[in-house]
Amino acid sequence: MNVVALPALGRRPSSWLEILWALPVEAFWSCFAGVLGLMSCNAFWRLGDTFVRDYDEGRYGVAASEMLHRHSVLVTTYAGATEFWNLKPPLGYWLLELSYCLVGESPLALRLPAAVCALATTALAMLLTRRVAGPRAAILAGIILATAFGFLAHHGARSGELDAPLALLLFLSLLLAPRLFDSRAARLGMGLVLSLAFLLKSFAILPYVAAVATYCLLTRGISSWRVWVLPLCISILVTATWAVARTIAEGSSEFVRRMFVEDLLLRSTTAIDPVQASVWDYVGALFDRLAPWPLVVLIASSLSARFASRRLSGDFGILLWCYCLIPLLLFTLARTHHSHYIIPLYPAWAILGAVATMEVLQAARRAQWTIPVVCLLVACIAACEGRLIAHMEVHDRLSPAQVFLTSLRQRLAPGTPLFTTFTPSYSERFFLQVVDGFVLDEMPMEKPFHAGGVVLVKSAEPGQRSRDWMPGAVVLARHKNYILVRLPG
């Protein structure tokens, strides 16, 4: 009789759920790289083919280009005139100028600083979360941030605005806050961070500073004011130096005065936009653009009001709640509401959402609902990613008009004087002046043009012909919105 030998009994193969649970612990750095790869795809995919918006992207791009070409370090201009519409210090423009120097003046260069800063913020968020909450929460926090619609779209990582760089700088203050009491280096670092953040977005940093200061007050009492002496002295010194230098370079203190009056007082006490502000604006924006994770935080809070303190080391739970809620409250109390004001909150809410998810998973395990809850969470992550992809591929592509404006550099040499019969919008000026390199001159149609000059006409109706306004002009390019012609002579 033949005997068939069976293999020795070994460990039973793990289920997919056990493998998924163990992966962040056993292969943290591989998961870390995978999340950064996901963030890189979401932040950089077709970044140069994204629609350029007038507010504030197009205007930032033009002002940075003019500073670069005029070799102006401190005084920002738009269309050759001193910039008083966007009352921000120069650090953001310097970032855009550096990007222009590295990759050329293009929509990609306009968005590159924000995308790089968002990627760095995601990495720091995972590293911090690993230290205070463990590797599983760290990887989940990175995934939440890498798929957060509000963090990537609309003034976020895929735009030419400065909210993503501000989020990175303010997140560094979150890293430094627990060490302010026992480290002089941390206090020096906080002073540098606050200085750079102010030079980036001026008074927009105040609610976040209030959050860290409240944390210090709650954990160390009234005597905590001493740790702020050095950071505030450094930031005031740097800010005052810039203000004096800007006043001397401009020959006037008008910019600094208006920055204080309009950017701080008026935005706080009056509604700049005609839209009526609601007390639920920022809460609604958070639940929409970071969905479903604020809801998960609410569920975890209903399970245990102290879940953050239990799952986070030291008193980081207090700091996280202060950072997540106090700026939200202060921005709500201000009269001018813009959803992008809370973009620097998203990294902290991603950490809180990850910790809350750990709490929900523990409750699901006790109730033997682990597999349905995990499947629901995976579906939520997939839905967040799908929303981003749909936005990038359908709603955020370059418009045909902007594609046409970009193509004009192939028809005319850079530096060509280009007359326009209309006042270009911010994005139109960005493409014509920055991307194409033309020298723009606004000339109303009733005034005479230079013979042989090149004129861009905005069509009143599709198919309008150049002969309707200038006999003998040669059409160089045509679009339903524009006509590019060369005048006779």
Exposed e or buried b per residue across 91-125, where buried means at least 16 C-beta atoms within 10 angstroms of its C-beta: bbbbbbbebbeeeebbbbbbbbbbbbbbbbbbbbb
The answer on 451 and 386 residing in a single domain is no
For residue 14, being part of any structural domain is answered with no
The answer on 128 and 228 residing in a single domain is yes
Q: Is residue 231 a contact partner of residue 187, using CB atoms and an 8 Å limit? A: yes
Q: What are the structure tokens assigned to 102, written together?
A: 């590295």
In the block, tokens 């590019």 appear at: 484
The answer on 455 and 365 residing in a single domain is no
For residue 280, being part of any structural domain is answered with yes
For residue 11, being part of any structural domain is answered with no
Instruction: Give the single-character DSSP code of 178.
Output: G
**Contacts for 236 with CB less than 8 Å, ≥ 6 apart:** none
Q: Is residue 35 a contact partner of residue 146, using CB atoms and an 8 Å limit? A: yes
β-pairing, 454-458 vs 417-420, is parallel
How far is C-alpha 34 from the geometric centre of its chain's CA atoms?
Answer: 22
Residues forming beta bridges with residue 440, ordered by sequence position: 418
The answer on 231 and 141 residing in a single domain is yes
Domain containing residue 89: 27-395
- pLDDT < 50 regions, the chain: 1-13, 461-467
**Contacts for 353 with CB less than 8 Å, ≥ 6 apart:** 140, 141, 144, 290, 293, 294, 296, 297
For residue 303, being part of any structural domain is answered with yes
The answer on 409 and 277 residing in a single domain is no
What is each CA distance from 323 to 206, 213, 330, in whole angstroms? Answer: 12, 10, 11
The answer on 424 and 284 residing in a single domain is no
The answer on 134 and 88 residing in a single domain is yes
pLDDT digits (tens, 9 = 90+) for 277-328: 788 999 999 999 999 999 999 999 999 988 998 889 889 999 999 999 999 9
Handedness of CA 462, 403, 340, 388 (dihedral sign): positive
For residue 470, being part of any structural domain is answered with yes
Residue 411, helix vs strand vs coil: coil
For residue 416, being part of any structural domain is answered with yes
Domain boundary among 332, 362, 395: 395
Give the per-residue pLDDT at 274: 61
Amino acid making up residue 132: V
Give the per-residue pLDDT at 444: 62
Rounded Cα gap, residues 90 and 104, in angstroms = 20
Rounded Cα gap, residues 468 and 410, in angstroms = 26
For residue 469, count CB atoms less than 10 angstroms from its CB and return exposed for 0-12, middle for 13-18, buried for 19 or more: middle
In angstroms, the first-to-last Cα distance of the chain is 108
Q: Is 349 left (phi over 0), alpha (psi -120 to 50) or beta?
A: alpha
In the block, tokens 């006509």 appear at: 483
For residue 460, being part of any structural domain is answered with yes
